[in-house]
Amino acid sequence: MSQSELTMSTGHEVLMESSPYGMEKKKLGMWIFIVSDACTFATFLFGYGYMRVGSQNWGTPFEFSSILNGIIMTFVLLSSSLSMLAAVRATQAGQKASANKWLGLTMLLGTVFAILHLREWFKMIGEGWRLFYNPLGGAAQFGACFFSVTGLHLTHVISGVIALAFIARGYNQGRYDSSHVETAGLYWHFVDLVWMFVFPLMYLMNAAR
Amino acid sequence: MSSNQELSMGSYAGIVIGLMIIVGIEVVLTYQHLSVRTLLFALLCLASLEAFVGVMYLMHVKYENRLLFWTIFPATLFVLVLLNYLWPDAYRMARMSLGR
């Protein structure tokens, strides 16, 4: 029984006080998590931003090929948000086959994003980049900033793909309903929106011009 | 969802295309030889616009109870502003210790 059903009055008594936000507790919980996670990312990005602006010899290592890779990754992640919206809508309409198709596409796009990101990482590691070593001779903090911020985001994407797989399995087994898919969707969109900051700040700000 | 599906999938696709266009503007700005500070400011403004559109429409805050918006946004903004005050001070202190 959903919380909204529980909050309905059964004749004279109210079984549970309704949420002031008018939403289920798992969704409210996800919002609280998202706010705290946004602050975590903001802390990383503020720290990076001040170092980037304050350093004279920061360097701009990203050639256009890396920027193009970032643009493709952005396109993939934004497309996955659209497929996630379609998945939520399909679950709300009770269209199981369609929901599975869209959830599968979202997971696939998330995986493609992770592969593209790891490819970029391995390329940089191959060029000699390390957490505290800059092969171009500029500020050594670049590696720490880049790998920590993008690594944190990549962890979120991979976690999201795994979470979606669990949700999809539970949905197919009838353990989860559309509200679970919607709550997972909130997380997925959040990860997408964080990338809207990570891409310009970590890639574009360090593009070779 | 309390949205009752206000937007069609076509509208959502339009929003996503709009976000991609903003990303395109960011890339164009990157190659305009702006100063680091100007570029950072411009990119942050555009990224914030993308985030706002995403939160309102993709995450459906526009269609949720208004209390959610007024709980989340001022509090998060307050924390971010405080962070913005905290970090430069940490940077200043680091520089002071280097100058000793």
CB-closest option in A50, A74, A193 to B54: A193
Whole-angstrom Cα Rg for chain B? 19
Contacts of B26 in chain A (CB under 8 A): 199-200, 204
Mean pLDDT for chain A overall = 90
Region class of A207: left (phi > 0), else alpha (psi between -120 and 50), else beta = beta
pLDDT in tens, A159-195: 999 999 999 999 999 999 999 999 999 999 999 999 9
Tell me if the pTM is above 0.80.
yes
Looking at residue A59, its pLDDT comes to 83
Mean pLDDT over residues A19-45, rounded?
Answer: 91
Contacts of A86 in chain B (CB under 8 A): 9
B14: closest chain A residue by CA: A82
Residue contact B20–A209, C-beta within 8 A: no
Q: Quick check: B95 pLDDT over 80? A: no
CA distance B84 to chain A (A): 7
Looking at residue B97, its pLDDT comes to 62
CA distance A208 to chain B (A): 9
CA B78 to chain CA centroid, nearest Å: 14
Whether ipTM > 0.90 holds is: no
CA distance B35 to chain A (A): 10
Looking at residue A36, its pLDDT comes to 94
- Confidence tier at A39 by pLDDT (50, 70, 90): very high
Looking at residue A9, its pLDDT comes to 47
CA gap A39, A43 in Å, rounded: 6
Question: Taking the domains of chain A in order of start, what are their residue ranges?
Answer: 24-206
Q: List, in order, residues 6 or more apart from A6 with CB less than 8 Å away.
A: A15, A16
Whole-angstrom Cα Rg for chain A? 21
Mean pLDDT over residues A59-80, rounded?
Answer: 95
CB-closest option in A21, A205, A209 to B33: A209
B48: closest chain A residue by CA: A197
Residue contact A39–B68, C-beta within 8 A: no
Which one of A59-63, A104-108, B75-79 scores highest in mean pLDDT? Answer: A104-108
Q: Quick check: B25 pLDDT over 80? A: yes
pLDDT in tens, B29-82: 999 989 988 999 999 999 999 999 999 999 999 888 888 889 888 989 898 888
Long-range CB contacts for residues A137-143, cutoff 8 Å, separation at least 24: A137/A57, A137/A59, A138/A55, A138/A57, A138/A58, A138/A59, A138/A61, A139/A51, A139/A55, A139/A57, A139/A58, A139/A59, A141/A51, A141/A55, A142/A58, A142/A59, A142/A61, A142/A206
Residue contact A23–B75, C-beta within 8 A: no
Mean pLDDT over residues B8-33, rounded?
Answer: 96
Residue contact A204–B30, C-beta within 8 A: yes
Superfamily holding A24-206: Cytochrome c oxidase, subunit III, four-helix bundle (1.20.120.80)
Tokens 């008018």, located at residue: A22
3-state secondary structure B27-84: HHHHCCCCCHHHHHHHHHHHHHHHHHHHHHHHCCHHHCCHHHHHHHHHHHHHHHHHHH
A interface test, pick of B28, B59, B78, B91 with most A CB neighbours within 10 Å: B59
CA gap A168, A178 in Å, rounded: 10
- Confidence tier at A126 by pLDDT (50, 70, 90): very high
Q: Is A170:A129 a contact under the CB 8 Å cutoff?
A: no
CA distance B30 to chain A (A): 6
B79: closest chain A residue by CA: A39
Looking at residue A96, its pLDDT comes to 95
Residue contact A205–B40, C-beta within 8 A: yes
Q: Quick check: B4 pLDDT over 90? A: no
CA gap B53, B42 in Å, rounded: 17
Span between the terminal Cα atoms of chain A, in Å: 58
- Confidence tier at A158 by pLDDT (50, 70, 90): very high
